[in-house]
Amino acid sequence: MKREVQLYIQDTRVDLFQDESISITDSIQNVSDISKVFTPFSKQFNLPASSVNNKLFKHYYNFDIQNGFDARFRVDARIEINHTPFKTGQIRLEGVSMKDNLPHTYKVVFFGKPSDLKDIFGDEDLSSLNGLSTYDIKSDTVTKDVENAFKTGLQSTGVNATDIDNRNIVVPLITLQNYYSYDTPSTNRLDNVAWFNFRKELKPAIKVLRIIEAIQTQYNLSFNMLDDGNIKTFFGSDVFKELYLWLHRQKAPHNDLNNAVQSFGINYNSLGVKKTLNDYTYLGGSGDVLSGGKLTINEGESYTLRFRFLASAANIPIEIVSKDRTTNELLGVQEKITTASASVVRFEALTSGNLSSRVFDPEIRFNNNTSQAISFSALNTLLNFGLQIDKTVNGVTTNHFYGNNAFQFAYMIFIQDYLPKMKVIDFLTGLFKMFNLVAYSKRGSNTIFIQTFDDFMTIGTSRDITEYIDINQSTIDRPVPYNQINFKYSPPVTQTSLRFINDYAQVFGDLNYSSPEKYDGQAFNIDVPFERTVLINLRDNSNALTNNIEAWWVDADSKTTLGKPYIFFNRLIDASSNTVTTSNFTSYNAPSNVRDDASGNGTHTLNFGAEYDELNKEINANSLFKRFYEQYVVQTYNQNGRIIKMSANLPVSFVLNYTVNDIIVINGQEYYINSIQTDITTGKSQLELIVKKATYTNSVLT
């Protein structure tokens, strides 16, 4: 069949050189580094400077052109073969080659979907995830959010959780200062401490699934959250739903250093409120310039926003922090100001910058750490408005007026304030490494599919390509075997984990394995940017285990410590036999290294190797390695395993339909794909295949 390649950039079919080679490499996980996730990509290829291409790229070679093609951004593109969709993704313009002072060649690179997630997330931290504000809770003693989050968990502020699916916020028993037990003097007995004091040592945690959902919303992504036929979901699995991230951002006390008693947990003196444009209603003027609670600024326009606030009391110190929720750009900070009869926050001369348009979604947050409640009056008339927007175009300014309802400060725990300092991309990378995940897309779908490697490998199609293989030359290599495997969390910082090293000469949660045969090989290292800690099963006065679990987050000197972000399985403890605090709580949330599944067998742990279960003190072998890495390591580094490298001239039907989890059949022998590099204009391909020695089975995710 005659082969013709079509390249579309922003739905425009571009001209190609007739002899241009377009090389696409597919590799979902490469044997030489299985901790990295790859997506389809191409080497740089060239486009002729034809009239069609010059128009598309707006004569990029001419830098005097205003509003030309912006090569700082990738643009949507797709590749078709014989007018059948092959790959969707994005094109990046690298530059233009000139000949005789005339444009000759545009140099571009095609990136397949899913795009490099690092480009999507940039350097933004978890604290930039605005969707998590849905789970802000109150810290007052009337609503009792903190108490209820400790005893059972919360769906949201004022709404108690009823099961694991809606237990979105918990306050786990992780103490930041004192060690509490049942076999100690009355000072630090867990059943003899007042809740009012005990709560000051605790911090909340959020279900990790809610973070994934916030990432989807913030970056306009779609992950497979449900099973889709034979494609198993990971983010929607039972195991993932039970993971929580402890909200521990810093180890410094939040109160004044001059205070005799330092507080490291929740700041109970903090009051605050957040306001956005959604809180304002158009009153009059030259028309409503807001849409959906946002302000779109086009090129050539300039806006000034003046927010007015009327406080119930004067001379109260407050802080005002403003940011753009769309970009998380800090718009302004006003510290140590005092309320007056009327306060004004101004955003001056907002423009689209270098963009043709920009959407602003400003958030204004008021903070007050004096425990003084403040209310603000409604400003909702044309004579007494809450917001004035001035729009200037070509030197002409128009005025637009908006009103707001009354509001007041509340004792709040803003979840974004407590999130650990970690980039979004590093957080996802950590999850991918823990659970050996892969990411890929399907033709015709905008969904990014996230699966365990084992699940992904079970859904490939068997394809016989014997007749297309170049039999003149091939090589057979041994896989590079690992004689040592090191799966490591971040270096431990808690006293219990440091004591574990002293007692057992190994790091709790890590896996370090050396082959007894001492064959020639190399070390395989996976470093996960999360913390593990040894948990304590408290004992009573008779030295019997109570099965009440506690984490003590202090260093070797018994001082509050930080460490890397801490992910754990949440366990709702039945404390009816040994109640907690003088309030006699009969249940509470606690961190666990072992999943509290219905079977009671602990089908999953967060340790890379076999470790003891803090609840029953028995060894649990259902480790991350066993559940998510063992099949791959055994398959790939089997004694009889081989890596086969050969050439082929693959037909269009294969190139259009294969996926990298397919099973390749050549002369009756089955292989797994390690990588395929294909010139899609000719079909000439270089294959790197792994001899199939075993069949993958699905991951246990229940």
| Count of structural domains within the chain | 2
Other Cβ atoms less than 10 A from the Cβ of 588: the count is: 26
Instruction: Classify residue 485: in a domain, yes or no.
Output: no
8 A C-beta contact, residue 123 and residue 50: no
- Give residues with Cβ within 8 angstroms of 10, minimum separation 6: 56, 75, 76, 77
Amino acid letter for position 28: I
Choosing from 388, 411, 434, the residue where a domain stops is 411
Laid out side by side, the sheet with 511-514 consists of 511-514, 482-488, 522-527
Instruction: Classify residue 692: in a domain, yes or no.
Output: no
3-state SS, 205-235, equals EEEHHHHHHHHHHHHCCCECCCCECCECCCC
- Give residues with Cβ within 8 angstroms of 504, minimum separation 6: none
Domain span holding position 317: 271-411
Q: Residue 668: what pLDDT?
A: 95
- Give residues with Cβ within 8 angstroms of 577, minimum separation 6: 546
Q: Of 112, 57, 107, 72, give the one whose Cα is nearest residue 90.
A: 112
The end-to-end CA distance of the chain, in Å, is: 48
Q: Of 261, 699, 658, give the one whose Cα is nearest residue 443.
A: 658
Phi-psi region of 285 (alpha: psi -120 to 50; beta: other; left: phi over 0): left
Q: Of 337, 369, 377, give the one whose Cα is nearest residue 271.
A: 369
Instruction: Classify residue 261: in a domain, yes or no.
Output: no
Q: Residue 257: what pLDDT?
A: 63
Distances (CA, A) of 225 to 37, 121, 217, 241, 567: 20, 20, 13, 11, 20
Instruction: Classify residue 40: in a domain, yes or no.
Output: yes
Choosing from 411, 435, 459, the residue where a domain stops is 411
Report how far residue 29's alpha carbon sits from residue 655's, in angstroms, rounded to the nearest whole number: 19
208-219 and 424-435 are packed helices; what angle lies between their axes, rounded to 10 degrees? 130
Q: Residue 650: what pLDDT?
A: 94
567-574 and 545-552 strand pairing: unpaired
Q: Computed from CA positions of residues 504, 508, 511, 512, in that sequence, does the dihedral angle turn out positive or negative? A: negative
Instruction: Classify residue 59: in a domain, yes or no.
Output: yes
Return averaged pLDDT per consecutive 10 residues of the chain, 702 residues in all: 87 91 74 46 83 95 86 90 89 94 93 73 91 95 95 97 97 96 85 94 97 95 92 96 96 73 84 94 97 94 92 84 87 78 81 89 88 88 95 96 95 94 94 91 85 94 96 74 84 97 95 72 86 95 92 96 97 96 97 84 92 88 94 74 89 92 95 90 92 92 89
Q: Name the strand (E) or helix (H) holding 8.
A: strand 5-9
Report how far residue 666's alpha carbon sits from residue 686's, in angstroms, rounded to the nearest whole number: 14
Instruction: Classify residue 402: in a domain, yes or no.
Output: yes
Choosing from 359, 390, 411, the residue where a domain stops is 411
3-state SS, 83-148, equals CEEEEEEEEEEEEEEEECCEEEEEEEEEEECCCCHHHHHCCCEHHHCHHHHHHCEECCCCCCHHHH
Other Cβ atoms less than 10 A from the Cβ of 214: the count is: 23
Other Cβ atoms less than 10 A from the Cβ of 269: the count is: 15
410-413 and 462-464 strand pairing: unpaired
Instruction: Classify residue 55: in a domain, yes or no.
Output: yes
In a 13 Å sphere around the CA of 155, the CA atoms on its Cβ side amount to 8
Other Cβ atoms less than 10 A from the Cβ of 329: the count is: 11
Report how far residue 533's alpha carbon sits from residue 555's, in angstroms, rounded to the nearest whole number: 11
Q: Residue 35: what pLDDT?
A: 40
Instruction: Classify residue 251: in a domain, yes or no.
Output: no
